């Protein structure tokens, strides 16, 4: 058993299929199949249940995955520890909630790339809970999420405050009438859900009618077409408001504040690449405060 075997095993476990793991690893599918079979033969135990729906871990596979995650992370830390004192280089995997990806993180990463061209960065979007889990599992080095976050495995740094607003189709609207329309969210369990529910109850609406929409663009298009309303950060709807595609209404004080922060794992070695990003975020916060 070597690190290569463990990486392939980890990928198949995460993706749930040989084909998806091969695509993620940029390997030939038959190579992945062979390596998994060799690993099972070596350990003399099946690691996966195989079916038409894909592959799921056996109990032995679950046990091995825990060790594989730890071993591969330690190997990564060992590699990063040798880079201290050198210009940042290597991989930087970052995540962000979609509303912060375009308005904040993308411009920051453009500046980051100019300063640290040897770093190869990647960016994915997702919900706060999903991103936190990816950071804990070391699938991401850090993520921009809705906060605050109090978790024993995560370091959290507040980055900025957002204003949460209600958006609706263009035209004159009464707040009370709008709140009876479907509420369009990224996912049913998204960060705004509890805040929206508390706000609606305060306004005398006791049933939250949620419609799940996948992306920021589909939510904006849905609201513009009159399919419902949504609660979103003001910075993410400003352009649509200027184009006349949505109407924006302010919320009462107790419900309008939204905090955005950056998380990284407490057990993650602060590599040169990650440390440089954290420092850049800190510097930008300082500039914003002075302005």
Task: Please write the tens of the pLDDT for every residue from 177-230.
Answer: 888 888 888 765 566 667 777 888 888 877 777 788 878 889 999 999 999 898
Q: CA-CA distances (angstroms) from residue 47 to 1, 6, 39, 52, 63?
A: 14, 12, 9, 17, 9
Percent of the chain residues topping a pLDDT of 90: 35
Which DSSP string do the residues of 107-170 spell out, in sequence order? HHHHHHHHH-TTEEEEEEE--HHHHHHHHHTTSSSEEEEEE----TTEEEEEEEEEEEEEEESS
Confidence check: pLDDT of 29 > 80: yes
In a shared domain, residues 263 and 152 = yes
In a shared domain, residues 57 and 109 = no
Last residue of a domain, one of 52, 81, 110: 81
Burial of 173 (0-12, 13-18, 19+ CB in 10 A): middle
Structure tokens at 271: 């590599």
* Residue-averaged pLDDT of the chain: 85
In a shared domain, residues 105 and 153 = yes
In a shared domain, residues 171 and 252 = yes
**Full domain range(s) for residue 188:** 162-257
In a shared domain, residues 166 and 233 = yes
pLDDT value of residue 80? 64
Last residue of a domain, one of 13, 46, 81: 81
Number of domains present in the structure of the chain: 3
pLDDT value of residue 222? 92
In a shared domain, residues 131 and 173 = no
- The CATH number of the domain holding residue 280 is 3.40.190.10
Cα 119 vs. chain centroid, distance in angstroms? 20
Kindly tell me the sign of the dihedral angle through the C-alpha atoms of 167, 171, 175, 177: negative
In a shared domain, residues 147 and 214 = no
Percent of the chain residues topping a pLDDT of 70: 91
* 240 C-beta neighbours (distance < 10 Å), count: 22
In a shared domain, residues 263 and 153 = yes
Between residues 103 and 207, the one the model is more confident about: 103
3-state SS, residue 5: helix
In a shared domain, residues 126 and 106 = yes
In a shared domain, residues 94 and 213 = no
Confidence check: pLDDT of 43 > 80: yes
Confidence check: pLDDT of 78 > 90: no
Which DSSP string do the residues of 240-260 spell out, in sequence order? HHHTTS-EEEEPPHHHHEEEE
Confidence check: pLDDT of 263 > 90: yes
pLDDT bracket for residue 53 (50, 70, 90): confident
Confidence check: pLDDT of 70 > 90: no
Q: Which residue from 136, 2, 27, 1 is spatially nearest to 12, judged by alpha carbons?
A: 27
pLDDT value of residue 191? 61
Instruction: Find the mean pLDDT for residues 124-131.
Output: 87
Confidence check: pLDDT of 150 > 60: yes
pLDDT bracket for residue 290 (50, 70, 90): very low
Confidence check: pLDDT of 58 > 90: yes
Instruction: Find the mean pLDDT for residues 13-39.
Output: 91
Kindly tell me the sign of the dihedral angle through the C-alpha atoms of 183, 184, 187, 190: negative
Last residue of a domain, one of 39, 56, 81: 81
Task: Please write the tens of the pLDDT for every residue from 235-257.
Answer: 889 999 999 999 999 888 888 88
Q: CA-CA distances (angstroms) from residue 102 to 200, 215, 229?
A: 29, 12, 21
**Terminal CA-CA length for the chain:** 56
């Amino acid at each position: 058993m070597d690190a290569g075997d463990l990486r392939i095993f980890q990928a198949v476990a995460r993706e749930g299929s040989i084909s998806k793991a091969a695509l993620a690893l940029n390997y030939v599918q038959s190579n992945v199949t062979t390596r998994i079979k060799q690993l099972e033969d070596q350990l003399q135990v099946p690691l996966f249940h195989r079916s038409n729906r894909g592959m799921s871990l056996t109990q032995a596979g679950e046990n091995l995955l825990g060790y594989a995650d730890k071993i591969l992370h330690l190997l990564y830390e060992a590699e990063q520890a040798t880079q201290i004192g050198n210009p940042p280089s290597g991989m930087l995997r970052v995540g962000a909630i979609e509303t912060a990806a375009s308005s904040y993180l993308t411009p920051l990463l453009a500046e980051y790339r100019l300063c640290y061209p040897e770093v190869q960065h990647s960016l994915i979007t997702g919900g706060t809970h999903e991103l936190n889990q990816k950071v804990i599992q070391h699938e991401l080095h850090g993520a921009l999420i809705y906060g605050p976050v109090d978790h024993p495995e995560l370091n959290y740094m507040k980055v900025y405050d957002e204003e949460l607003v209600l958006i609706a189709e263009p035209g004159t609207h009464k707040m009370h009438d709008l709140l009876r329309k479907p509420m369009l969210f990224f996912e049913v369990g998204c960060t705004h859900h509890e805040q929206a529910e508390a706000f609606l109850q305060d306004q005398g609406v006791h049933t939250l009618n949620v419609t799940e929409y996948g992306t920021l663009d589909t939510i904006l298009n849905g609201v513009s077409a009159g399919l419902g309303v949504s609660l979103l950060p003001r910075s993410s709807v400003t352009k649509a408001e200027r184009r006349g595609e949505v109407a924006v209404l302010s919320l009462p004080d107790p419900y309008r504040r939204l905090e955005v922060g950056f998380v990284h794992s407490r057990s993650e070695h602060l590599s040169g690449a990650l440390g440089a990003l954290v420092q850049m975020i800190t510097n930008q916060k300082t500039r914003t405060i002075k302005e």
